[in-house]
Amino acid sequence: MRHSLSFITALTLTICGADCSLAAQAVPLTKPVQAYGIRVAAEWEPVTGVLIGWPLQVPDTLVVALSHEVDLYVTVSHRSHAERAAKQFSEWGIDLQRVHFVVTKQGRGYYITRDWGPFAVFDEQGHYRVVERRFRGYPLGTMVNSHLIWVPWISGIPYRPEDRAPVAVASALGYPIRELPFSLTGGNVAFDGHGNAFATEIMLAENRWRGVSRERFLAIAQEELGIQQFHFLPNFERLGIQHLDCLLKLVDEERLLIKRPPPDDPAFKDVERVVSYLSTLTNVYGRPYQLLRIDTPRYHLNRLANYTNAVIVNRSIFVPLFGIPADAAALNTWRQAMPGYDVQGFESTHWGSDDALHCRVHGIWDPHMLYLAHRRMDALVAWASKFTLEVHIRDYSGAGLIDGQLHLAWRQQGNTEWRTERLHRTAEEHLYQGTIEGVQPGQTIEYYFEAASRSGRQETLPRTAPAGVYTFATASN
């Protein structure tokens, strides 16, 4: 049986040329965060699809599970491969209307879509574009980061097709693409959606090797991506690719989930050194990050289970499993950290300590997303007769918000019924306020926000509310 397949062709590439020779900026960058200036979407924000490579290097059960959530964008090297893939997907029960094939040249790293796949960037006017950067392979960095080691078979020509593949992906999305003149490998960078980014120090070393100084790197990141603060963490492997997604996960703009090797493992002290550094940082709201831990014991050949290398797809989280008893505990840790999310585990012989699920699945963000952001209340606050809470709401579709569906919902912890209060616009664009009144001293309050736009999108914050909520306690008099 033949299928009607969705094929993608390349679109014109916009090269960042002389206009990217930006003036060097002070380090660290100190420009105040502009909540609605240019920004890179964070991983937990709404996505409409995921990017994977064919032939598959992920479990078929994972592909099926992903197809239940979002569209699949699948890279293939030839149309005939798409036919084979479609036949296989159809046999697995996948709706081919949700599958889009991207025909592009494939190199050695075709399936590691996280590393070369494009980022989603919104500009000040809310316009969406995809951004790519140079990708030439994987340098190996040391703990002291004094130099890089380039192994011939993992650098250079074998990865050039992946360097160019984002052009075809941009065509699938129907949006312009911007190429940046530096390396920014996807597995070694995380964005919080508020102008903060994380990577390990090998990122700077790789760009230095390519002739891009730290100052120029930061200047371009600020100008093109809206990054106001770039946190470069110490390398955590004695010798390795030092990819951030094998060390930690930003689960939201205020919390980090970090691996914890066994105390007798050589990696334990190296990771704890990074944890000590992270404890000195503050998030976009000026508070210390909440550092959550997930145990990563040894499995085959003394490698460490790579549970942070998971991917968030809207209200689901897909976690790599390694066939060891600790798998169950890892899933439980994820569920405790992310209440209300559907946490699913997938075992595969493909997973490794430096390459697992997150490396092979890349999000395709919703260009018309309904975006909510809120500085959650402190865990303990002084009692007041009235609390005014603020939330930023931006409708990137441009269709307009539905005023009657903008609410703050709250209740005393232990109650079953929610009270809803209307959110009101403020003089600041995209900023809304809601009030909580009648709280008694010593009570703990649960709350969340909800919004809807005329594009048909509905969102809550937290995204899994009311299963996942924010809480604060009032001090007793």
Here the contacts of 86-93 (C-beta below 8 Å, separation 24 or greater) are 86/3, 86/5, 87/1, 87/3, 88/60, 89/63, 90/1, 90/3, 92/60, 92/63, 92/64, 93/64
Kindly tell me the sign of the dihedral angle through the C-alpha atoms of 41, 44, 46, 48.
positive
Name 115's Cβ contacts closer than 8 Å, sequence gap at least 6: 109, 135, 162, 185, 186, 187, 359
DSSP reduced 3-state for 5: coil
CB atoms within 10 A of CB 342: 16
CATH number of the domain within which 54 lies? 3.75.10.10
| HEC assignment per residue over 395-453 | ECCCCCECHHHCEEEEEECCCCCCEEEECEECCCCCEEEEEEECCCCCCEEEEEEEEEE
Q: Which amino acid is at 198?
A: F
**Same domain membership, residue 300 and residue 160:** yes
Q: What is d(CA 35, CA 392) in angstroms, rounded to the nearest whole number?
A: 9
Is the whole-model pTM more than 0.85? Answer: yes
Q: Is residue 461 part of a domain?
A: yes
**Same domain membership, residue 436 and residue 377:** yes
**Same domain membership, residue 434 and residue 341:** no
Average pLDDT, the chain: 89
Q: Is residue 170 part of a domain?
A: yes
Q: What is d(CA 253, CA 317) in angstroms, rounded to the nearest whole number?
A: 17
In the β-sheet with 6-8, what is the strand arrangement from edge to edge?
6-8, 99-103, 71-76, 47-53, 362-365
**Same domain membership, residue 62 and residue 152:** yes
Contact 170, 11 (CB under 8 A): yes
**Same domain membership, residue 388 and residue 459:** yes
CATH number of the domain within which 408 lies? 2.60.40.10
**Same domain membership, residue 83 and residue 178:** yes
Secondary structure (DSSP) of 244-294: GGGTEEEEETTEEEEEE--TTSTHHHHHHHHHHHHTT-B-TTSSBPEEEEE
Q: Is residue 47 part of a domain?
A: yes
Residues listed for the chain? 477
Residue at a domain's end among 365, 394, 418: 365
CA angle, 52 then 55 then 58, to 5°: 55
Q: Is residue 160 part of a domain?
A: yes
Q: What is d(CA 356, CA 330) in angstroms, rounded to the nearest whole number?
A: 15
Q: Which of 190, 208, 215 is nearest to 28 (CA)?
A: 215
**Same domain membership, residue 399 and residue 297:** no
Contact 291, 250 (CB under 8 A): no
Q: Is residue 241 part of a domain?
A: yes
**Same domain membership, residue 256 and residue 196:** yes
Secondary structure (DSSP) of 55-119: S--S-HHHHHHHHHHSEEEEEESSHHHHHHHHHHHHHTT--GGGEEEEE----TTTT-HHHHSPE
Residue 183 phi/psi, 5° resolution?
Answer: -90, 135
Q: What is d(CA 146, CA 263) in angstroms, rounded to the nearest whole number?
A: 27
Q: Is residue 1 part of a domain?
A: no
Q: Is residue 22 part of a domain?
A: yes
Contact 99, 6 (CB under 8 A): yes
Residue at a domain's end among 339, 365, 391: 365
Name 246's Cβ contacts closer than 8 Å, sequence gap at least 6: 187, 259, 306, 308, 309, 353, 354, 355, 356
332's tokens: 């439980």
In which domain, by residue range, is 244 found? 6-365
Q: Which of 443, 446, 375, 380 is nearest to 408 (CA)?
A: 446
Q: Is residue 184 part of a domain?
A: yes
**Same domain membership, residue 161 and residue 195:** yes
pLDDT at 158: 63
pLDDT at 42: 97
| C-alpha pair distances (Å), 148 with each of 108, 139, 140, 279 | 21, 6, 6, 28
In 3-state terms the chain splits into helix, strand, coil percentages (rounded to 5) of 25, 35, 45
**Same domain membership, residue 382 and residue 356:** no
pLDDT at 16: 28
Using 70 as the pLDDT threshold, list the residues of the chain that sit under it. Answer: 1-36, 144-147, 150-158
Q: Which of 453, 98, 463 is nearest to 315 (CA)?
A: 463
Q: Which amino acid is at 291?
A: L
**Same domain membership, residue 112 and residue 152:** yes
Give the bridge partners for 245, in sequence order: none
Number of domains comprising the chain:
2
**Same domain membership, residue 181 and residue 157:** yes
Residue at a domain's end among 365, 385, 409: 365
